[in-house]
Every structure is written in C-alpha cells, then in structure tokens.
Amino acid sequence: MNIVPTPNTEPLARNEQTMRYRPMGKTGLMVSALSMGCMRLTEDQDHNDKLISTALDMGINYFETARGYCGGSCQDYTAPGIKTRDKGIIVSGKAGADVTSYSFFKEIERQLDILGLTHFKFFQVGWFAWPSIPYLLRRGGVLQAINKAKDEGMIQYVGFTSHDTPENCIRIMETGLFDSVILPYNMLYRGYERSITRAGELGIGVVAMCPVGGGALAYDSHELKEALNMDMPTAAMALRFVLSNPDVSTACSGMTKVEFINQNAQTVKEFDPEKSDIRELMCEGVDRMRLAVGEKICTNCGYCMPCPQGVNIPHHMELYRNWKCFGLNADPDSWPGNWVVNAMAFLGPEQKATNCNQCGDCEKKCPNELPIRDSLAKLVQNHSNG
Ligand code: SF4
Ligand code: SF4
C-alpha cells in the first residue's frame, strides 16, 4: 500500500546551489538561512510576485506574514506568489494572544483562507509578552485554540514574536509551549543575544528579524568597514554578523527588490560561519566602535519622554548613536543617500529635533546622563535637510 505523507510531514524545499540551510530548533526542519519578511510588499502585485518567485528560486523556504501588515493586505499580496509553489515552504501566520480561544481559532482559519493554504507549518502568537501568559493559559484562552488547530492539522508548530525584555522572553521560552521565537537582532541591536542563546539551549528555532537594522545597515559606512576589517557592502556584513550566531536559524529580511534577494542569497551562500573565527572578530569590532564614543549610549528606554515640545527624543538619539558609533550616515551623494536625513524625514514636523528649545527637562530624566540637548543640536546641524 502506498503511504502518502500528509502535507505536515513533507520536508522543506532546498536549492543547494544558491542557499544554505540551518536547523529550525529541534523540529527537524531545515530552514533557509535567509528568509523573507512579507511586511514590505506593496500594491504592485506584479512586483510582489516577482519578489516571491525570485526568493523561491533562490531556495528561500520561509516567508513571514501577518494579516495586519501592509495596511491589512500582507497576506493578500503574498498569496498569488505562492499559489502554485506552496509545497515544502513555511508561510508563517500570526495573531495576537489577548483574545478568546474562539477568536484565535477563527483568525487561523481566516489567514489560511486568505493565503490559500491547507495548514500552517508555523503559526506565531504575535506581539507576545510575559504578562499575557494568563490570556494564553486561561480556560477558553488562546492555548486551547492552538491545541484544537494542531489536532485538526491546521497548524504544526507554534512560535511567538516579542519585544518584551530579554529576561521575560527567556521565561516565555522556558514554559515549553513554543517551538520558535522571532526577535529583533542585528549589529546595532544585540539586546536579545542572551535570549537567543537560551533558545539554542532549549532547541527553540530563532528567526532573527531586522537583520539589516530595518534598512539602516543597507547604508555605506567606512567606519564599519575599518572596524570589522571587511571590505564589503554593509548589508553583507550585517547578514554575516547575524548568521555567525550559531543559535540563529534564519535571518528574516523584508527585501523590497529582486537584486536585494539575489545579493543577500549570494552573501549567505558564500559565508560559512564554521570556517573562521568571524564571530569573535565582528563582536570585538562592533564593541570597539561603541567604546570609541564612550560607555554611555542611548538604550532607547524612553524615560526622557514626553518632551514638552513634542520632540521624539529616543528616535533622534538612536540616529545620533548609529551615526556617531557606526558611521551610518553615508556619503550624501552615494546610493541610497544619507540615512540620517532619510530617517529624520520620516518624522512628523511636530516630532522633529528642530522644535527643541533646550529646556533640559529630558536630561534630568535620562538614567545614562546623556547630553541630549547637545546631541540633538549636532544631529540637526549636520543633517540640515531633516
Ligand atoms: S531639551 Fe529639548 S528635547 Fe529635551 S525636553 Fe527640552 S525641548 Fe524636549
Ligand atoms: S532617557 Fe536617555 S537612554 Fe533613555 S531613551 Fe532617552 S536619551 Fe535614550
């Protein structure tokens, strides 16, 4: 008798010519080291289809989606691209936990329907934090829906995404409820490194989001090249940094151009983290850059807020840190232009540093005693278009 495996047991697709694969925790699945975040797809469906088809051709087998991304259209934009090629790939769905079992279950059904899938290999409990554990575990809570969906073959593995503290993320992992975790991780932001190490110890797959710093690490930095002694585009260094961490399963990037997918796949294919002491060298280089600007840097805690003039202080201090620490402002004439100016342009007029009247209230509240007024003034002075 022929035994036909159910879709839930099929191995993931591979293209050894163009991609490397890494274990997804202890699930037994081998996930592509580069994965695709679908949160930056757009109304241009032809372009979306091209991106997804290129990603599939390059051997990417993990696609991150959520119904709420792209103004609620992320999964509608993803569906046509995977329509005839959904075998052997992970298309991950996501929903928040502060709802009833009934709503969560209906949400899984709805997302499967939009994506045209029979089941999710991974479904994420999204934006999760330790204080929400009771919502998950209570009678009629989300765990009940997860178990029902598993029993009915609608989901195979469950992960969570979080911006909670690294300690709380570890507590969530230690409940044993999750097979994977999605956390922000890149050269600029290493706050979750402890959580990632713990995930490795527990056999939990790690999807590193924002490996290119939300686009910041796509910009040229002579300082980074020198400090890391690597003569290559910043994005290539950034991917190498993330993948040099053996506990990361995949680096998930919201790639918006076909050439980014091709370049990133090439970077991943060429880079063998096991063949060198690259991790130590890169960590030392990044640490040296931080120390060069002094021990005290903005940790994004937000204690300086609110500003009576409406200035978005943490955002500006993050730009200041990345400019001063990592040289991420680039040559204004080079592609893709000056990152700091571009990032400042995203802020509404009421949030801009130009509104600062130097009152000094923020500095009294900053636990790192940072010279916020001076930093904002320098930022504005050197990036006058912002
Ligand atoms: S010094 Fe500037 S940024 Fe700080 S609180 Fe006063 S107005 Fe806001
Ligand atoms: S209080 Fe200080 S460390 Fe915290 S966000 Fe504001 S500037 Fe950064």
- Does 381 or 45 have the greater pLDDT score? 45
Which residues does a 6 A CB cutoff place in the pocket of ligand 2? 298-304, 313-314, 317, 365-366, 368, 370, 372
> What angle in degrees, to the nearest 10, is found between the helix axes of 45-57 and 258-270?
20
Tokens 């680096």, located at residue: 251
Amino acid, single-letter form, for residue 308 = P
Are 61 and 2 spatial neighbours (Cβ–Cβ below 8 Å)? Answer: no
Q: Is 311 touching ligand 1 by the criterion CB < 6 Å?
A: yes
How far from the centroid of its chain's Cα atoms is residue 276's Cα?
Answer: 25
pLDDT band at 335 (very low <50, low <70, confident <90, very high): very low
Rounded distance between C-alpha atoms, residue 286 and residue 290, angstroms: 6
Query: 279 and 170 share a domain?
Result: yes
Query: 41 and 172 share a domain?
Result: yes
Size of the chain, expressed as the number of residues it contains: 386
- Is 300 domain-assigned? no
Which ligand is the nearest neighbour of the Cα of 300?
2
- Is 122 domain-assigned? yes
Amino acid, single-letter form, for residue 141 = G
State the number of CA atoms in the 13 A half-sphere of 47 facing the CB: 11
The CA 347 to ligand 1 mean position distance, Å, reads: 16
- Is 360 domain-assigned? yes
Q: Token pair for residue 344? A: 């400042």
The CA 376 to ligand 1 mean position distance, Å, reads: 9
Are 119 and 155 spatial neighbours (Cβ–Cβ below 8 Å)? Answer: yes
- Give, using CA atoms, the residue closest to atom 2 of ligand 2: 366
- pLDDT of 294 > 80? The answer is no
Query: 163 and 259 share a domain?
Result: yes
**What pLDDT, in 10s, does the model give residues 207-224?**
999 898 877 787 778 888
Average pLDDT over residues 178-182: 98
Query: 327 and 270 share a domain?
Result: no
Give me the phi and psi of 144, to 5 degrees please: -60, -45
- Is 224 domain-assigned? yes
**Predicted pLDDT of residue 384:** 65
Report the number of distinct structural domains present in the chain: 2
Which DSSP letter does residue 120 get?
Answer: E
**Predicted pLDDT of residue 369:** 87
- Does 84 or 323 have the greater pLDDT score? 84
Q: Token pair for residue 258? A: 């076909």
Within 10 A of 261 (CB to CB), how many other CB atoms are there? 24
Dihedral sign from CA coordinates of 227, 275, 28, 171 = negative
Query: 235 and 320 share a domain?
Result: no
pTM: 0.84
What percent of the chain shows pLDDT beyond 70?
Answer: 93
> What angle in degrees, to the nearest 10, is found between the helix axes of 74-82 and 101-115?
40
Are 261 and 255 spatial neighbours (Cβ–Cβ below 8 Å)? Answer: yes
Mean pLDDT (the chain) is 90
- Give, using CA atoms, the residue closest to atom 7 of ligand 2: 298
Q: Is 305 touching ligand 1 by the criterion CB < 6 Å?
A: no
- Give, using CA atoms, the residue closest to atom 8 of ligand 1: 307
Rounded distance between C-alpha atoms, residue 125 and residue 104, angstroms: 10
Q: What are the residues facing 93 on neighbouring strands?
A: 123
Query: 49 and 177 share a domain?
Result: yes
- Give, using CA atoms, the residue closest to atom 7 of ligand 1: 356
**Residue ending a domain, choose from 283, 299, 332:** 283
For the chain, the maximum distance between any two Cα atoms, rounded to a whole number of angstroms, is 80
Q: Is 357 touching ligand 1 by the criterion CB < 6 Å?
A: yes
Q: Report the candidate in 260, 268, 214 with the shortest Cα–Cα distance to residue 54.
A: 260
The CA 287 to ligand 1 mean position distance, Å, reads: 29
Q: What ranges in 83-122 are assigned the alpha helix state H? A: 101-115
Which DSSP letter does residue 31 get?
Answer: E
- Is 196 domain-assigned? yes
The CA 60 to ligand 1 mean position distance, Å, reads: 46
Query: 266 and 321 share a domain?
Result: no
Q: Report the candidate in 77, 184, 66 with the shortest Cα–Cα distance to residue 125.
A: 66
Looking up residue 37, the CATH number of its domain turns out to be 3.20.20.100
Query: 195 and 332 share a domain?
Result: no
DSSP string, 134-199: HHHHSTTSHHHHHHHHHHTTSEEEEEEE--S-HHHHHHHHTTT--SEEEEE--SS--TTHHHHHHH
**What pLDDT, in 10s, does the model give residues 244-293?**
999 999 999 999 999 999 999 999 999 998 877 888 889 998 888 877 76
- Give, using CA atoms, the residue closest to atom 8 of ligand 2: 298
Q: Is 375 touching ligand 1 by the criterion CB < 6 Å?
A: no
Of the given ranges (97-101, 174-178, 285-289, 326-330), which has the lowest mean pLDDT? 326-330
- Is 292 domain-assigned? no
Mutate to test the pocket of ligand 1, among 312, 316, 317, 358 (most ligand atoms within 8 A of CB): 358
Query: 75 and 197 share a domain?
Result: yes
**What pLDDT, in 10s, does the model give residues 21-71?**
999 999 999 999 999 999 999 999 999 999 999 999 999 999 999 999 999
Query: 359 and 260 share a domain?
Result: no
Which residues make Cβ contacts (< 8 Å) with residue 229, sequence separation at least 6?
281, 285
- Is 220 domain-assigned? yes
- Is 301 domain-assigned? no
Are 139 and 100 spatial neighbours (Cβ–Cβ below 8 Å)? Answer: no
Query: 343 and 264 share a domain?
Result: no
Which residue range is the domain that position 367 belongs to? 313-382
Rounded distance between C-alpha atoms, residue 203 and residue 26, angstroms: 5
Query: 222 and 163 share a domain?
Result: yes
Are 101 and 131 spatial neighbours (Cβ–Cβ below 8 Å)? Answer: no
Q: Report the candidate in 309, 304, 285 with the shortest Cα–Cα distance to residue 226.
A: 285
- Please name the helix (run of DSSP H) or strand (run of DSSP E) that holds residue 289, with its range, or none: helix 278-292
